Amino acid sequence: MGGIPFIGSTFAVMRDPVGMARKRYAEYGPVAWGWLLGQRTVTVHGPEAAEAVLVDRDKAFASGPAWSYFVGPFFNRGLMLLDFEEHLHHRRIMRQAFTRPRLRAYMDAMAPGVVKGVGAWQVGPGFTMYDHFKRLTLDLAVDVFMGVELDDAERARVNGAFIAAVRAGTAYVRFPVPGLRWHRGLRARRVLEEFFQRQLPAKRRDGGDDLFAALCAAESDDGRRFTDADIVNHMIFALMAAHDTTTITLTSMAYHLARFPEWQERLRDEALALGTDDLAYADLDALTGMDMVMKESMRLVAPVPALPRRVVRDTSILGFHIPAGTTVVVPMLSNHRMADWWPDPDTFDPGRFAPERREDKVHRFAWSPFGGGAHRCVGMYFAGMQVKSIMYRLLRRYRWSVPDGYVMPLDTTSLPSPKDGLPVHLVVA
């Protein structure tokens, strides 16, 4: 069941995570032992097992030690890498950066960058959606989260550092061998630390409407604030989460809208019906079709494909004994495609999220791309707002298509991304 010690099914899972999950579920059921990236691991399939782990009523599953094995050296003490009381303390402070008034301010700050970024795209064949979304979302994250001006060289340096840090988490050689992923990730972390530390004094002094300023000013009910180190750690993690996961969601949406042009036209009509180029915060709820497409795209390509936890005391999952020290993985990418819970799970069908169907309501963890429990993504509403803002502008300005029979080749060695950048034929609408 576990495969070769230390290696196990690592390569097979990275090549075909959904296929391997289905195979293991059919053979072993919802709780299956194995080896993954050198760790003895339990993979839990299905929403019932996901709920047991993510809700964690007995505080037996820690996020920090599990994520630290993969990305700890690169995203040290980000919110996802903290647990229990310390996590709740940091989360209470950070929530102040995602209140409704803050979200409105972020959306206003984001609008000029969306208009400028999308408006500069060059129409024609071979337009790589993923690459352009990634560049745009990093630019927006810098503008909205940091509120600082960067030249092209500095933006490229920061972007490259984030890419190297994310990819280092799934390195096979987990030592700083020059030229390999782990080493590049460690260098990237130093670049990011130096960058934020250099910006911090002015941000504490001058404030602003951006996330960086909000974290500098936020405090708990008893008056405690983040230290400089806290702010640097949270900014590195938040900036990664804000542009990587949003890029993946936008890319998945663009791919499916290219494959299913009837949905692209439906969303374009919905956007045009608002009668304005300037999407307002109050308009977001009117984009019901876009919301369904976004949710279905996140179901088919979960931006964070798996959520690991470390067992800190002996426990059980669905009646199976799990000893302390075990790493447990909740595979969101494959859980969202389980035929036991989703009819025609591999079919793009946004209507499954329509009010009269709501197939996601079959279980509260059937659809959970933002995780769940205490570690549910604190920026989930910001993410939806950013995705809709960009897609709204894109739909009103362009049409795009892919050749008949094209299937987006996913690289799932870290966060899921298209191996070919998702080339489309982009034309003015």
Mind listing the pLDDT tens digit for each residue in 29-77?
A: 999 988 776 778 999 999 999 999 999 999 999 999 999 887 888 888 8
Per-residue pLDDT of 384-400, as tens digits, reads 999 999 999 999 999 99
- pLDDT at residue 328 greater than cutoff 60: yes
The CA-based dihedral angle spanning residues 81, 84, 85, 88, taken in that order and rounded to the nearest 10 degrees: 70
Per-residue pLDDT of 281-312, as tens digits, reads 999 999 999 999 999 999 999 999 999 999 99
pLDDT at 10: 59
Task: Give the confidence band of 162 by pLDDT, cuts at 50, 70, 90.
Answer: confident
- pLDDT at residue 314 greater than cutoff 70: yes
Beta bridge partners of 322: 315
- pLDDT at residue 95 greater than cutoff 80: yes
| CA distance readout (Å), 197 to 176, 205, 290, 308 | 24, 14, 38, 30
The 10 Å CB-count burial string (b at 16+, else e) for 254-272 is bbbbbbeeebbebbbebbe
Cβ neighbours of 71 (radius 10 Å): 23
Rounded CA separation 186/198 (Å): 19
Question: Cα–chain-centroid distance for residue 240?
Answer: 9
Rounded CA separation 402/382 (Å): 29
- pLDDT at residue 4 greater than cutoff 60: no
Domains of the chain, each with CATH number or no CATH: 74-303+347-428 (1.10.630.10)
Strands 423-428, 124-128: pairing kind: antiparallel
Per-residue pLDDT of 197-214, as tens digits, reads 999 999 999 888 888 888
pLDDT at 8: 52
Helix, strand, coil shares of the chain as percentages rounded to 5? 55, 10, 35
- pLDDT at residue 217 greater than cutoff 90: no
Cβ neighbours of 96 (radius 10 Å): 14
> Average pLDDT of 106-116?
93
Rounded CA separation 302/347 (Å): 15
Strands 39-44, 327-330: pairing kind: parallel
Average pLDDT, the chain: 91
Of 174, 167, 166, 168, the C-alpha closest to 38 is 174
Task: Give DSSP secondary structure letters for 170-220.
Answer: T-SS-S--TTSHHHHHHHHHHHHHHHHHHHHHHHHHH--SSHHHHHHH-B-
